[in-house]
Structure 1
């Protein structure tokens, strides 16, 4: 068994986290990951109201008695969701782990910590991770440039970002972006992380609530089949390469602004991709790691397989890599 600071701090068996994904992080998936010994996460804003989130948390509790968390993604918008109400639902529900992402989580961290809740904050740079550490989060998830969704504007891949974070942080951290199997987990641990966070890989599991067509689209895709959009707006987002994402890039390349593409990128279109299985219906996020995904197992089998493969790989490396003694010349 792979025991790390993360597994000990958060009370899970395997250092594997299912990231909170919009429209994907629902009770069945989160419970299956947690039941297998990982950390499953429900996505709060997938639910239309705080009351609906309370019901989703209860559904998850009915499916597992293992620890699971709730993602609360903080966005800057003219009409923001009722974050305080969502936060209170999480507190009242008895959930003890929250994953925050997006804007400054300080006010939420303060309230959550006052109620005995551990907080993981998603970051795309070491400087942001250090700020999260200063405000008192218990762990960070550090997202490399390979990740789906918003990878930040620094374009630093995990091979550099993970050891840089290991050098700078005192709290546990998990690596995100580019992970799909035991090789990735072993590599992340070797680079200094305390575990991994996966999104795209968990989209391709039996419990994932997205259309089978989209799961098969990911299985059949390569690492080249993603598109970076919003680069010109300094709000980079990695999405599946399709006719919509290519149109967005073309419009912005010609000097267009967000108002010129907002109808193409609206979230309701992306939700239809997952519901109806049409990969051309809108913008939907996926990581370059799709090139390493070749099957659609149960989430539990996936967690156990990755943990076992990583343990075997690390053991084999210890036995098979010979370190020759250095002699004075």
Structure 2
């Protein structure tokens, strides 16, 4: 068993975390990951109301008694969700691990710390990771350019970003982006991380609540089948390549603004992709790591074989090194 600062701090068996994916991070998937010894994540804003989040956590608790986290992505919007209400709902549900992403979580840390909640903050750069440590989060999830969703604007891949982060942080951190198996876990540990976060890999699992057509497309896809959108708007996002994402890039490259693509990128359209299996209904997130995903196993199997493969790699590499 691979024990790290992260597993010790968060009370889990294996240094494998399931990404908090919109429309995907629900009770069945999170519970399956946690029951296998990793850390499953329920996505707060997937739930229509804070009360629904309480009920979703309760559903997960009926499936496992192991630690489960909640993800809350905080973004400045014209009509923002009631973020603090969702946080209080997570606390009321007995959640003790929260993953934050997006805006600075500082305004909420006192509330969370008062209730014994440990905070993992997702970052896309070393400078933001350092800031997160300074404000008092318990761990960082550092997102490389390979990741699905929003990779930031620095375009730094994990091979550099992970050790650069290790050089600057004293708190535990996990590596995100481009990781789908034990090779990725072993590499992340060797580069200084304390574990890994996997999104696309768990999106392509039995328990992921998305249509089978999405999972089959991921298995069929290659590392070249993603599209970077919103580059001209300074809000880069990595999504699956399809007719919609190509049209978004075309419009923005021709000088369009967000209003000109708003309908194409509406969240309701992306939700249809996952729920109905219409791969051209909207944009949907997946990372370049889909080029390494070749099956649709149970989430627990993903956790167990990822750790077993990493242990085998680390053991063999250790034996292969001859002391001087």
Post-superposition CA distance 1:213-234 (Å, at most 9, x none): 0000000000000000000000
The Cα of 1:80 is off from its aligned counterpart by: 0.2
- The residue correspondences of 1:183-194 to structure 2 (distance < 5 A) are 183-194=183-194
Report the 3-state secondary structure (helix = DSSP H, G, I; strand = E; otherwise coil) of the residue aligned with 2:263.
helix
Cα distance in 1 for partners of 2:177, 2:190 equals 16
Aligned to 1:38: 38
What is the DSSP-based 3-state SS (H/G/I as helix, E as strand, rest coil) of the residue aligned with 1:262?
Answer: coil
Q: Distance in 1 between matches of 2:109 and 2:24?
A: 24
Q: What is residue 268 of structure 1 aligned with on the other side?
A: 268
Superimposed CA distance per residue, residues 69-108 of structure 1 (whole angstroms, 9 cap, x where no aligned partner) = 0001001101000111111111111110000000111112
Distance 1:101 1:111 in 2: 17
Deviation of 1:321 (Å): 3.0
- Judge which range, 84-93 or 268-277, deviates more: 84-93
- Normalised by the length of structure 1, the TM-score is 0.98
Q: Matches of residues 176-325 of structure 1 in structure 2 within 5 Å?
A: 176-323=176-323, 325=324
Distance 1:299 1:279 in 2: 23
In structure 1, distance between residues paired with 2:136 and 2:217? 40
Secondary structure at 2:185's aligned position in 1?
helix
Displacement, 1:121?
A: 0.2
Task: Describe the superposition over 1:259-310 as per-residue Cα deviations: whole angstroms up to 9, x where unpaired.
Answer: 0000000000000000000111100000000000000000001100000110
State the match for 2:139 in structure 1.
Answer: 139
2:255 and 2:8 mapped to 1: Cα distance? 50
- Give the drift of 1:147: 0.2
How big is the alpha-carbon RMSD for the aligned residues of Structure 1 and Structure 2?
0.6
Q: Work out the CA distance in 1 between the residues paired with 2:233 and 2:133.
A: 28
Quote the residue 2:156 is aligned against.
Answer: 156
Q: Does residue 1:115 correspond to 2:106, yes or no? A: no
What is the SS of the residue equivalent to 2:120?
A: strand
Q: Which whole-Å CA distance do the structure 2 matches of 1:207 and 1:321 have between them?
A: 40
Query: Could you tell me which residue of structure 1 aligns to residue 72 of structure 2?
Result: 72
Deviations 1:92-149 (A, max 9, x none): 1111000000011111222111110000000000000011101110000000000000
State the TM-score, normalized to the length of structure 2: 0.99
Q: For 2:92 and 2:116, locate their aligned partners in 1 and report how far apart those are by CA, in whole Å.
A: 11
Matched residue, 2:23: 23
User: How far apart in 1 are the matches of 2:47 and 2:108?
Assistant: 19
Gaps (5+ residues) in structure 1? none
Deviation, 1:320, is 1.5
Give 2:56's aligned residue.
Answer: 56
- What secondary structure is seen at the aligned counterpart in 1 of 2:130? helix
SS at match of 2:262: helix
Partners of 2:113 and 2:283 in 1: CA distance: 35
The DSSP-based 3-state class of the residue aligned with 1:264 is coil
Distance 1:299 1:259 in 2: 38
Distance 2:281 2:76 in 1: 26
CA offset at residue 179 of structure 1? 0.3
**Mapped partners of 2:229, 2:110: distance in 1:** 34
Q: Helix, strand or coil for the counterpart of 2:180?
A: coil
Aligned pairs, number: 324
The Cα of 1:322 is off from its aligned counterpart by: 3.1
